[in-house]
Structure 1
Amino acid sequence: MPVPVLLTGRSVRLEPLAMRHAEALARAGGADRSAYAFTPVPDGFESALDYIARALTDQAAGRSLPFALVSTADERVIGSTRFLELDYWRGPLVWPPVPGMPHGDPLTSVPDAAEIGNTWIAGDARGTGANTEAKYLMLRHAFEAWGVRRITMRADARNTRSRIAIERLGASCEGVRRAHSRGLDGAVRDTAFYSILDEEWPTVRDIIELRLSTPRQVRVPQDLLPA
């Protein structure tokens, strides 16, 4: 299973998620909850402790690799994301296959395919490019350090904001799985699946790097504009 890793960019740093992030994670999740209709986000300190404990349990079982998103400008935790659905294809063929079971030493094994998900970001960090750079750092690590063949991303089909963000990265939509699972609101949801393959990564990398290098327009509130 992959070991925890620190990923650092210009505006955001991805730190291995730990209990020490609980208080800051609670603040980030509680600031503006208007965009969390489809994503589980901790609400309060106790909720953050439980959120992290569950993530670390999955990590210990080799099922995920969770991160805290930290703004490099002010060292503030602004959200969380993780690698999950880790899959291994190397070694002798075993049938039926056992998902998530690496061949050889599990401490040195790296996945051949993975998903990026469980991503959420604080309200005041949306639209700043932090989420884009976080995805870039994870994709670069997956394709260039691990050598994965595929990265998957998915979203509740109703979550237009997330679907647009994934598509802007250059991911290909594989389709919508109808009545796929129960959504956060209790309704049976359709799920949109996206993927990026290793041969597509150089093109996707260029797209994201161009976006990250383009200065973002600062939106000025109407009441501050000159008359």
Structure 2
Amino acid sequence: MPAPAPLPGRIVRLEPLAYQHVPGLATAAEALGDPTGFTLVPHGIDEARTYVDKAQAAWAAGKALAFAIVAHSHNTVGAAGGVVGATRFVQLDYWQGPLTWPLPSEPVPPAPDAVPDAVEIGNTWLTPAARGGLVNLESKLLLLQHAFDTWGVQRVTLRADARNARSRAAIERLGAVSDGVLRAHSRGFDGAVRDTAFYSILRDEWPRVRSTILDQLAARQALSMPRTVHHEPWRTLTSSAELV
């Protein structure tokens, strides 16, 4: 499992989820009200601490890498600085090779320093004040840049409960390609048997998707910034290091 590292952006910073984020997670989730929804969200300090416990256990087991979404105090996204939500890499796939025949009877564990060949982005939630704007877009940009440009993955998967029109529309706006809907795929957090919509971005599609996200960030930034304030256009950015 790759070592956790912060992913700095212009308006948010993705920080590996830790116990220091527990109060912020609880505060951000408090504004969501009803805990039943499409994504697991921790309500209250105790649930937030358990949320971090499970995230760290998943990282130790090589199953996931979770981040707190932290808005800069000087941000212009309509949300106060601090923790505004969470997101994570899940379903890290390691394609071991070269293939041999006969295939080994037991799975070959990846080397401790191995990076995944494919990964999924999921379990994302945001406090209401940070929804529908720059925060989710830049968070996805940081995750996708890390997956494709740092790890060199071949595919990034995104999924959503088929009933979750908001999430599906956001994924489609990124330029991800629909892989179809898996019917009766799993049980949702509301107890209903859910269909799941799957999307993917392939390595050779990443430049197009990246350009789409940067265009959307630039357009939304232009709408949110006072005309008298000059900001460097998003389109000038070429790597995650330049997002600081």
TM-score when scaled to structure 2?
0.83
Distance 1:96-1:154 versus aligned 2 partners, 3 A rule: farther
| Alpha-carbon shift at residue 2 of structure 1 (Å) | 1.1
| Alpha-carbon shift at residue 186 of structure 1 (Å) | 0.4
| Alpha-carbon shift at residue 127 of structure 1 (Å) | 2.0
| Alpha-carbon shift at residue 152 of structure 1 (Å) | 0.2
| Alpha-carbon shift at residue 20 of structure 1 (Å) | 1.0
| Alpha-carbon shift at residue 213 of structure 1 (Å) | 1.4
| Alpha-carbon shift at residue 93 of structure 1 (Å) | 2.5
Work out the CA distance in 1 between the residues paired with 2:67 and 2:136: 13
Q: Is the 8 A contact 2:35 2:43 kept in 1?
A: no
Q: Which runs of 5+ in 1 are unaligned?
A: 219-227
Q: Is the 8 A contact 2:36 2:190 kept in 1?
A: no
CA RMSD between the two structures? 1.9
| Equivalent runs, 1:90-169 vs 2, <5 Å | 90-93=96-99, 95=103, 101-102=109-110, 105-106=111-112, 108-169=113-174
Q: Is the 8 A contact 2:31 2:128 kept in 1?
A: yes
Aligned counterpart for 2:214 among listed residues 203, 209, 214 = 209
**Secondary structure in 1 aligned to 2:147?**
helix
TM-score when scaled to structure 1?
0.89
Aligned residues: 215
| Alpha-carbon shift at residue 204 of structure 1 (Å) | 0.4
In the alignment, structure 1 residue 89 sits paired with structure 2 residue 95: yes
| Equivalent runs, 1:168-187 vs 2, <5 Å | 168-187=173-192
Q: Which runs of 5+ in 2 are unaligned?
A: 75-79, 225-244
Q: Which moved more, 1:61-70 or 1:73-82?
A: 73-82
| Alpha-carbon shift at residue 185 of structure 1 (Å) | 0.6
Identity between Structure 1 and Structure 2 (%)? 55
Amino acid at match of 1:77: V
Q: Is the 8 A contact 2:176 2:201 kept in 1?
A: yes
Distance 1:13-1:131 versus aligned 2 partners, 3 A rule: same
Work out the CA distance in 2 between the residues paired with 1:68 and 1:125: 13
Amino acid at match of 1:209: L
